Amino acid sequence: MFTVLIRIFRSGWRSFYRDREIALATIFVLFLTVILAGSFFLFKDISQILVADLQEKIDVSVYFREETLEEDILGVGKELSELPEIKNIEYVSKEQALLNFIQRHERDTALLDSIDELGKNPFLAALNVRTWNPDQYAKVSKFLEGPGFDSFVEKIDYYQRKPAIDTMRSLNSGVTKISISIAVLLIIIAIAVSLNTIGLSIYNSRKEIEIQKLVGASSWFIRGPFLVQGMICGILATLISILTLSFICWFLSPRIESFFLSISLFTLFVENFWMLVLIQFTTGISLGAVSSLVAIKKYLKD
């Protein structure tokens, strides 16, 4: 049995080497599919980090009427904190709001002069509310619009922030859908190209196959080399993909870090290296084997 397997692998390698020009097309398409699978895995982690960063920068502010006492505002904050959707709440007094404004616009003397001309603090005390995910802001806003809060609450800026919240959510969802669509398309193309490649290889080996049948070779002894050929294409595509992806991550990492300080692409690649290798090898070998089996069934009849 072991000797037969050795012969099948040798025959598969010879078939691959003989038709190497044709096999290059299969390797290239498999490479694109495999590297996309690895990139999609990395992108999932990157998108989660980006979304988390954006969520930290997006909140909803609840502004209170000027006559509202601080203890009443803190009481509203305590009620809010009991909601499971709430991640954290920050109280900003009128004085702190004015100080923040001055620090933010310290170089805009005209704007600061206009504040001085008012002769009073124009800002309202507020609670800055963050939820665990963007979808929960609507529920929190509805809660604050309910009875019991209208005598305290002046304004909730959820509807002003809603476009930014919706954009963040739709961007994350849209990129994921596009990535999945491209992956499915490449898988279909990879199988189609591999199927034709193995089909051509079977056609080129037709005389050899006829001789093997005449001498009584088993069905799997004839089919095995073509399955091995498909797996070799998958393995080579995976190795090229791993090297290419590691170079891309190394090259882009410092450039991405200059924009997003919380993301180190190469560190992310190193931390997930073995998982990426497993995903890419599984994808490459599976696609190579599946496409070979389909081609064998289609072109190689008993």
Most confident of 11-25, 34-48, 84-98, 248-262: 84-98
Q: What is the pLDDT of residue 26?
A: 77
Residues 15 and 106 in one domain: no
Residue 130 has pLDDT above 80, yes or no: yes
Domain boundary among 109, 131, 160: 160
Residues 49 and 197 in one domain: yes
Instruction: Give this prediction's pTM.
Output: 0.58
Domain boundary among 160, 177, 199: 160
- The amino acid present at 107, given as its one-letter code, is R
Residues 133 and 223 in one domain: no
Within a 10 A sphere around the Cβ of 37, how many other Cβ atoms? 21
* Domain membership of residue 175 as a residue range: 2-54+167-299
Q: What is the pLDDT of residue 213?
A: 66
Residues 41 and 175 in one domain: yes
Domain count, the chain: 2
Q: How confident is the model at residue 97 (pLDDT cuts 50, 70, 90)?
A: confident
Residues 48 and 183 in one domain: yes
- The DSSP bridge partners found for residue 89 are 129
Residue 261 has pLDDT above 60, yes or no: no
Q: How confident is the model at residue 135 (pLDDT cuts 50, 70, 90)?
A: confident
DSSP H or E run through 127: strand 126-131
Residue 302 has pLDDT above 60, yes or no: no
More confident residue, 197 or 80: 80
Residue 173 has pLDDT above 70, yes or no: no
How far apart are alpha carbons 290 and 89 in whole angstroms?
Answer: 53
- List of residues 6+ apart from 46 with CB closer than 8 A: 263, 265, 268
Residues 83 and 131 in one domain: yes
Residues 177 and 252 in one domain: yes
Residues 16 and 142 in one domain: no
Domain boundary among 112, 143, 160: 160
The first and second tokens of residue 35, run together, are 């590297």
Nearest to 131 by CA among 82, 83, 87: 87
Residues 1-51: pLDDT tens digits?
A: 567 677 767 776 777 777 677 778 778 878 887 887 787 777 777 766 766
How far apart are alpha carbons 78 and 195 in whole angstroms?
Answer: 64
Averaged pLDDT, 227-251: 85
Residues 198 and 284 in one domain: yes
Residues 181 and 119 in one domain: no
More confident residue, 217 or 138: 138
CATH number, domain of 97, equals 3.30.70.3040
